[in-house]
Amino acid sequence: MADTGIAARRSAINLLDQVLGEGRLLSECLGAGMLDKLASEDRARAQRLAVETLRGMERADRLLARHLRKTTPLPVHNALRVGTIELVQGAAPHGVVNAMVAIVSKSRRHSHLKGLVNAVLRKIADEVPEAWNKLRVPRLPKWLRSPLVNAWGAEAVAGMERAHFEGAPLDLTLKPGANPHLQDAEILPTGSLRLRAPGQVSTLPGFEAGDWWVQDAAAALPVKVLNPQPGETVLDLCAAPGGKTLQLAAAGADVTALDISETRMGRVRENLERTGLTAQIVTGDALEHDGQYDAVLLDAPCSATGTIRRHPDLPQAKDGSEFGELIELQARMLAHAWALVKPGGRLVYCTCSLLPDEGEVQIEEALGILEGASVDRSVLSLPGVDADWQTEEGGLRLRPDYWPEAGGMDGFYIACVRKAA
């Protein structure tokens, strides 16, 4: 019997129900095992469909609104959204329509709407891709768009939204001395490798040999700013999933990697083993950790608004209500991390956030509070880093709208603070 993709499509719809109806992140759903019963190909397809539907949801909703007189129940509307995205991508209309009708018809509460699903998706099939391409680039929700416009201006935010809509290529950090012969790999100005259509990561040349690890080009810069030296003691706070730990270890530093999540630290161990690198692994609360280090890298818990290219669920599942608590936590972690830095040492603070309150403002306030602290601007002059990315208080601001022709980068804030000897 031919595979109709029913299981993958139904699972994609269920994921959307959780994100849009329950405010759960996709990572939470996947971590809870929502797709565990699917075959590997169906798991990948379900996740891809959910991500691509979230990325193009505004456009899908605008097309669907032309054919819907009443509000449809969320599971039915999500079926229509997934179907629309598949049609836009060129899937066979009869297959998409039949699958979505079959899924809705199996619903006890919504089976009476299968005729509506059939009619609407058939109309959508006649309209795409022309009607789709005439619609504007999907915008961020107002709760996030407004503060970003206030911070960076409407033109910059429009550029970020274009980057979000296009999605993220795969960036890799090479282990020193490795040469995995990756086809079609682009060397970015900062030294990361970028693949536009990588396929399955674990089958790429050099994966099993541990020649590289997945890490966005922006996420690779905090360690370069830290500039670890062989033999230095370095603490990587909030280390999971471990890309920065691997960079520090590869530079020859004596690394202690700490994170509060045992599950996430399991990934760090796996990557260390795969790459043949070593670090001391500690599972615990960063605010309770003790010791003295030559350098501390604090990738603080944050809104993760800089990663929307890869996580389009974030602005749909969240509403910003938790940001105040995060900002307070960041300030406490900064102060505690500072106490762990030896005299004459340095602290690199970073967040994958686009909000100045989680970056520039934190460092501005810290410089007035932390004893013996001064920002080190000199370490920001790195290959591929534009001087215009440096900020007034002495940090580095990265945004998704940078490198638009090359595929953008994650939003990040990075600053290096020196402690007086």
pLDDT digits (tens, 9 = 90+) for 316-373: 999 999 999 999 999 999 999 999 999 999 999 999 999 999 999 999 999 999 999 9
pLDDT digits (tens, 9 = 90+) for 244-300: 999 999 999 999 999 999 999 999 999 999 999 999 999 999 999 999 999 999 999
Domain boundaries defined on the chain:
6-133, 213-419
194 conformational bin, left if phi > 0, alpha if psi -120 to 50, beta if neither: beta
List active site positions.
352
The residues, ordered by sequence, that sit 6+ positions from 405 with a Cβ below 8 Å of its Cβ are none
Q: What's the CATH superfamily of 6-133?
A: NusB-like (1.10.940.10)
> Would you state the pLDDT for residue 222?
98
> Would you state the pLDDT for residue 1?
35
Phi, psi (degrees; rounded to nearest 5) at 162: -65, -40
> Would you state the pLDDT for residue 4?
67
Q: What is the pTM of this model?
A: 0.94
Instruction: Specify the fold of 213-419.
Output: Rossmann fold (3.40.50)
